[in-house]
Amino acid sequence: MEEKISGKVVDIRYTSFDGEYTVATVRLGDKSEVVVTGPIAAVDIGDNIEITGEYVTHRIYGEQFKVNSFIPLKPDDEQGIYEFLASGVIEGIGEKFARRIMQVFGDKTLDIIEKAPERLLEIEGIGSKKLDKIITSYNEKMMLKNIIIQLAKYDLSTSLSIKIYNAYNENTLKILSNNPYRLCDDIKGIGFKKADEIAKKMGVALDSTERKIQAIIYSLTQSTYEGHTYTTFFKLKSDMKELIDFDDEDEILSISYDLYAKKQIIIDGIEKDDMKIFLYRYALAETTVASKLIELATYQDKKIDEKKLDELIQEQIKYSNIDFSQEQIKSVKMAVNNNILIITGGPGTGKTTTLSFIIEIFERIGKKVKLCAPTGKASKRMAQATNKDASTIHRLLEMNYSSDDMQEHFLKNEDEPIKADVIIVDETSMVDILLMQSLLLAIKNGTHLILVGDKDQLPSVGAGNVLKDIINCEIIPCIKLNKIFRQAMKSHIIVNAHRINEGKMPLTNDKDNDFFIMNRNDKNSIEKLIVELITQRLPKYYDITPKDIQIITPMKKREIGTQNLNKLLQEALNPKDPVKNEYKTQFKIYRENDRVIHIKNNYEKQWISDKEEGSGVFNGDTGTIESVNLREKFLTVNFDDGKKATYDFDELDELEHSFALTVHKSQGSEYPCVILPIHSVAPMLMTRKILYTAITRAKKLLIIISSNSNIKKMVDNIYEEERNSTLMQKLKMFKDYKMLD
């Protein structure tokens, strides 16, 4: 039950590095003391504060007051003022000077510092330089506290208030009163809807032009989150109606052209019916990717002698003692003879073997080869499969992060390209248009680029349809590996993946199978079977431990979604134990030995490993909670790629449990065993592509828990939401330009 308390801060036990989370002791009016925890940033010993929140009982530390919001109050007596000054929070004042100042000014001290600070020169030991320090430090401290008080009226959390203050400093209130919609551009974590709430509370006119501008930007941004690089004019108009109840076509068009003139958006087309509207960076990205691909593809490079190449290939075949298919040999020749090549194909068609073959030939020629993939797990798999070093694309590009504009930047670019003769990218279906742009800009002409991926898997999380568009344009050389190798044919996982991709039902339950369908229709029996399989049956009958088993499901919510399954599996696989520390939030328990996944790119997150240290933990990185430090309020995660990072408790919105993952989150990874429960799936997720992607995550054993009717629905459903993209058209356009040169 929410209530208010007020009192004086007498001790600060812990403050997070960013100042947004504090554990403090507050003495109440009746002289009793309570431990308060939460977002009470900028408080100091001696401060009087009014807090809104609720009493909770911690299993180790007992009763605490959990803070939702607070308002700092000025010290109201001489002792409080003395404690405030003596705490050292004001630069230039410690216990000695606090005592001297109080002896002269008493309970008028803070009024003197605020209104007549020059009078502090009356105090022995305070000169003009020390006075300047005191005034600057006091004003900064009071300014932040005042802004927190002022912004509390608009229901802004303390952490957001601090972010706003750090951006605008003493101009904070002036900027917000003039144009609160600036928050959308300047403050990470504040979007149009939050800024609009603040604007309404501040009395900003609902028909203001700035509101309409930000609604347009918000609509276009949301479109990119759905995978589109552009939206149509009429979709924009519909969004504007829904967002701010405004649908005047002429004014929307007029504002859009103003944004076009400022290079914030790009408008392609004249008539409203066929008008495409892009955020500027996405239009630029598509144009750059198309231009650079054609430029690389048409670069005139010295070709290796065909006879010499045949000799090298035959030598490598003899050395490796592998019976390569004609498709694979053709792939090697195409890779060497073309500056760009796409290699696509399903599981079991020899993509990895082909890559290793290509790498060996290039190295025999004397070329320097670099390998990369979109995620840490995918790059690790690539390195293990080829026995060569591989990195993430971000790392290859030497990613840097600027806190000034809160954007990632790459040190490798047009001016400082990647030093390699051959660059091979695996899992290219996961690469979005912005990352492809950054990669291509860092590749110098003459470099061989090989893009490898399965076009039938799910597209990238970010905007664009990169691999599919490049293949479908039929301009860039592409080879599809179709032959399933004899060894792969022994795997029902691989055979059934291809059957499903062809619209056929999987074959199941043959003796010594690695592919099973277990028919269950209701939630309780599915949950019971999952726990039984993972804790008893699979470890008993197969050489598989629970850590080798990954639960994958099409959805996050609903009964058999990751949210519910993670709670169930945490209790089954890592139950409460007196020897394991755990931290409980409103919705989750983070316990030592829990499996977790990082869910948003954090370019500033520091990490260490056995070999090095650096920064950057990315969406999709998985690991295990090594320790939970309840006293210092942080936990440590050991990631699967060897990195180790710490998370303050107020950063835990970046971590989710990963006992169960969605199909999208599992993409780019492989697991010894996958259990795939399908029940009450949202129609948009009942698709062949999602089923195919999930199945191809399993290496040794796959168990689908579902009714045959649900599986058939997914096999038959070839629906794929079309993504708005102009990459294919631009590739054709740049090819035509090149032919005219």
What does the alpha-carbon distance between residue 238 and residue 244 come to, in Å, rounded to a whole number? 10
Is 352 annotated as contributing to ligand binding?
A: yes
CA distances from 296 to 63, 284, 288, 448, 485 (A): 65, 18, 12, 8, 33
Contact 587, 656 (CB under 8 A): no
Is 376 annotated as contributing to ligand binding?
A: no
CA distances from 694 to 99, 100, 150, 608, 647 (A): 69, 72, 50, 32, 30
Is 348 annotated as contributing to ligand binding?
A: yes
CA distances from 154 to 95, 177, 204, 652 (A): 37, 12, 13, 25
Q: Among candidates 537, 534, 592, 524, which has minimal Cα distance to 564?
A: 524
Cα angle value 567/668/362 (rounded, 5°): 160
Main-chain dihedrals φ then ψ at residue 588, nearest 5 degrees:
-135, 160
Cα angle value 542/548/551 (rounded, 5°): 105
Which amino acid is it at 330? K
What does the alpha-carbon distance between residue 351 and residue 357 come to, in Å, rounded to a whole number? 10
3-state helix, strand, coil in the chain (%, to 5): 45, 20, 35
Beta strand 407-410 pairing with 399-402: antiparallel
Angle at which helices 95-105 and 78-86 cross, to 10°: 150
Is 349 annotated as contributing to ligand binding?
A: yes
Is 642 annotated as contributing to ligand binding?
A: no
Q: Among candidates 90, 70, 91, 59, which has minimal Cα distance to 26?
A: 70
Which amino acid is it at 158? T
Q: How many CB atoms neighbour CB 277 within 10 A?
A: 26
Q: How many CB atoms neighbour CB 8 within 10 A?
A: 23
What does the alpha-carbon distance between residue 627 and residue 425 come to, in Å, rounded to a whole number? 35
Contact 596, 573 (CB under 8 A): no
Asked whether the CA dihedral 25, 28, 30, 34 is positive or negative, the reply is: negative
Binding-site residue set for ATP? 348-352
Binding-site residue set? 348-352
